[in-house]
Chains A and B, each alone.
Chain A
Amino acid sequence: MMKQGVFELAENTVLTGKVSSLRLTGDVSAIEIPGQFVQIQLDGLFLRRPFSVCDRDDNSFTVLYETAGTGTELLRTLPTGTELDVLTGLGNGFDLYRCGDTPLLIGGGTGISPLYWLAKELLKSGVSPKALLGFNTADDVFYADEFEALGIETLITTADGSRGIKGLVIDAMDKPYSGFYACGPEAMLRAVCEASSKPGQISLDRRMGCGFGACMGCTVMTWNGPKRICKEGPVLDREEIIWED
């Protein structure tokens, strides 16, 4: 169930040239399932900005964000102690039992964000995931150490080969796995679905209005009919997705 609350910015840490992590403290009780997201209100901007939850503990949650526009550029400048109005507990989240005992967590860029908390919850549920994280160059890599610290095998791919396996995530899917959870650029998600016939869940990113199902701004057509990415998503089963040309 969605909640609205005021959160305090505890950490705003630069991870790479464009990516930062933000930790906010407050009432996190509505954040229940990995893959859910939050909507953060920023001074001077009308629409809230959505971010997948990367991690949570008893009194705080973390999101990762790439500076890509007015909202995220503003977010990067906010100091510790800033109070932010946040809607929490949005969206459906991943199904921990949908993709077998040895799923791949496939992330591209900031798409790795929801997969980190998912990895933790899968481990608690007795599932043994592996992480497959794709970046452009070695300088763009973040959260590889955090995934490894969970004790799971973590493969890195870079497009230019400057770290890990040279190529795209689909070039590193040759070992056995039971299914996949994926989040990242649309082209990557589609390539993963084309490269794999295993069960899969995908977290989609669409430009949103409200974030809680009222405005119909983010509805996509699926094989199961129209779905609001903010409400019936952002996580969809791979079979539902209609890839547009």
Chain B
Amino acid sequence: MGRLSVDLCGIELDNPVIPASGTFGYGYEFAELYDINCLGTFSFKGTTLEPRYGNPLPRIAEAKAGMLNAVGLQNPGVEAVIRDELPRLAKCFHKKVIANVSGFSIEEYAEVCRLLDNEPLVGWLEVNISCPNVHGGGMSFGTDPKAAAAVTRAVKAVTTKPVILKLSPNVTDIVSIARACEDAGADAVSLINTLLGMRFDLKTGKPILANNTGGLSGPAVFPIALRMVWQVSQAVKIPVIGLGGVSSADDVIEMMMAGATAVQIGAANLIDPFICRDIIRELPARMDHYGIAKISDLKGGSR
């Protein structure tokens, strides 16, 4: 085990830095820019059973220290991902990848996971029960402990790979959702997805986003993410992957101090495409600065 390495559900990561789903495509746009094998792993674009074009434009709006998005799970569908995207990724990425999965019914989640279960490149399944930008699915499964548990059980029944449930912050009590997932057999949870937000165009008085509402991400949400990771990591025994506004090596360390085993980086990739590589390079010096010998010595890493 190296100084930066962490264990995520029995698979060793060289470092805890993981580009978050929806900000890293299927990896190869970034592989043109740098060797993405330096990453711990990454979570690929949210994949559904059928191809999805997503929401009408505009899908993006500026916010103070962040952004809103309402992309609406644009993706080519799981068959095309297995046929086209994963073979293309395999040429430039030699580690296990996190397959991010979305659905509109429990059966759809299970079917997508069943299909991806056969893929050797996929190390983990990250089940998104927290997308705020689609209707009749997504977040509705992540705002009710019973529904979250039902999705977890359905997915666990069709795969031997570790299952990560990606949780929504748009709930009264995220701890109850996390516990329900753990009790239903989840191997890990990742949090937080984006916070539901809105912006208006002052000239027209209308919402900027065609979907009206969207998910807020970026540094603005970092303290909320820390708080929720801290609460959840004290309440469950499974690993917690922390994300939400992380944009520096110090943020990674702080997120692990809050209880995260590994850390995802989302919106920051969209502003600085090299940020994950740079954070990995900077981590040892920042650990020296704070007197941290091994990153797994931090609270989350020691779980």
Check A206–B33 contact: CB distance below 8 A. Answer: no
What residues of B have a CB within 8 angstroms of the CB of A87 in the complex? 273
Task: State the total of A-B contacts with C-beta under 8 angstroms.
Answer: 86
Check A216–B270 contact: CB distance below 8 A. Answer: no
CA of A214 to CA of B219, assembled, Å: 19
What residues of A have a CB within 8 angstroms of the CB of B296 in the complex? none
Check B60–A218 contact: CB distance below 8 A. Answer: yes
Q: Restricting to B26-54, which residues have a CB under 8 Å from any CB of A? A: 29-30, 32-33, 45, 53-54
CA of A220 to CA of B269, assembled, Å: 22
B218 contacts partner chain A, Cβ-Cβ < 8 Å: yes
Contact of B54 among A45, A210, A216 (CB under 8 A): A216
B169 contacts partner chain A, Cβ-Cβ < 8 Å: no
Check B69–A209 contact: CB distance below 8 A. Answer: yes
CA of A21 to CA of B62, assembled, Å: 24
Check B53–A219 contact: CB distance below 8 A. Answer: yes
CA of A37 to CA of B282, assembled, Å: 30
What residues of B have a CB within 8 angstroms of the CB of A214 in the complex? 23-25, 29-30, 269-270, 273
Contact of A215 among B62, B71, B274 (CB under 8 A): B71
Check A41–B60 contact: CB distance below 8 A. Answer: no
Check B269–A217 contact: CB distance below 8 A. Answer: no
Of all chain A residues, the one with the shortest Cβ separation from B269 is A214
Check B69–A215 contact: CB distance below 8 A. Answer: yes
Of all chain A residues, the one with the shortest Cβ separation from B62 is A47
A4 contacts partner chain B, Cβ-Cβ < 8 Å: yes
Interface string of B270-303 (1 = CB under 8 A from A): 1111100000000000000000000000000000
What residues of A have a CB within 8 angstroms of the CB of B61 in the complex? 207
Of all chain A residues, the one with the shortest Cβ separation from B29 is A213
Give min CB distance, A154 to chain B, whole Å.
Answer: 32
What residues of A have a CB within 8 angstroms of the CB of B32 in the complex? 1-2
CA of A70 to CA of B64, assembled, Å: 12
Q: Restricting to A63-100, which residues have a CB under 8 Å from any CB of B? A: 70, 87
B87 contacts partner chain A, Cβ-Cβ < 8 Å: no
CA of A209 to CA of B59, assembled, Å: 9
A141 contacts partner chain B, Cβ-Cβ < 8 Å: no
CA of A218 to CA of B56, assembled, Å: 9
Check B59–A217 contact: CB distance below 8 A. Answer: yes
What residues of B have a CB within 8 angstroms of the CB of A2 in the complex? 32-33, 273
Contact of A207 among B57, B65, B71, B219 (CB under 8 A): B57
What residues of B have a CB within 8 angstroms of the CB of A14 in the complex? none
- Say which size band chain B's interface belongs to: 20 to 34
A185 contacts partner chain B, Cβ-Cβ < 8 Å: no
CA of A131 to CA of B176, assembled, Å: 64
CA of A70 to CA of B203, assembled, Å: 13
Question: Do A226 and B53 form a contact, CB below 8 Å, given A46-B271, A217-B59?
Answer: yes
Check A209–B269 contact: CB distance below 8 A. Answer: no
Contact of A216 among B74, B218, B269 (CB under 8 A): B74
Check A215–B60 contact: CB distance below 8 A. Answer: yes
CA of A213 to CA of B33, assembled, Å: 12
Give min CB distance, A134 to chain B, whole Å.
Answer: 22
A208 contacts partner chain B, Cβ-Cβ < 8 Å: yes
Check B273–A216 contact: CB distance below 8 A. Answer: no
Check B60–A217 contact: CB distance below 8 A. Answer: yes
Check A47–B271 contact: CB distance below 8 A. Answer: yes
What residues of A have a CB within 8 angstroms of the CB of B57 in the complex? 206-207, 218-220
Contact of A46 among B25, B45, B66, B273 (CB under 8 A): B66
What residues of A have a CB within 8 angstroms of the CB of B62 in the complex? 45-47, 70
Give min CB distance, B75 to chain A, whole Å.
Answer: 8
A212 contacts partner chain B, Cβ-Cβ < 8 Å: yes
A221 contacts partner chain B, Cβ-Cβ < 8 Å: yes
Q: Closest 9 CB pairs between A and B?
A: A210-B270, A217-B60, A207-B58, A209-B60, A216-B74, A217-B59, A213-B29, A216-B71, A215-B270
Using a CB–CB cutoff of 8 Å, the interface residues on chain A facing chain B are 1-2, 4, 41, 45-48, 70, 87, 206-210, 212-221, 226, 231
Q: Can you list 8 A-B pairs with a CB-CB distance of less than 8 A?
A: A45-B62, A46-B62, A46-B66, A206-B57, A207-B58, A207-B61, A209-B69, A215-B23
- Apart from A2-B33, A46-B271, A214-B25, 6 more pairs, CB < 8 Å: A2-B32, A46-B66, A46-B218, A214-B29, A215-B270, A221-B53
Using a CB–CB cutoff of 8 Å, the interface residues on chain B facing chain A are 22-25, 29-30, 32-33, 45, 53-54, 57-67, 69, 71, 74, 218-219, 267, 269-274
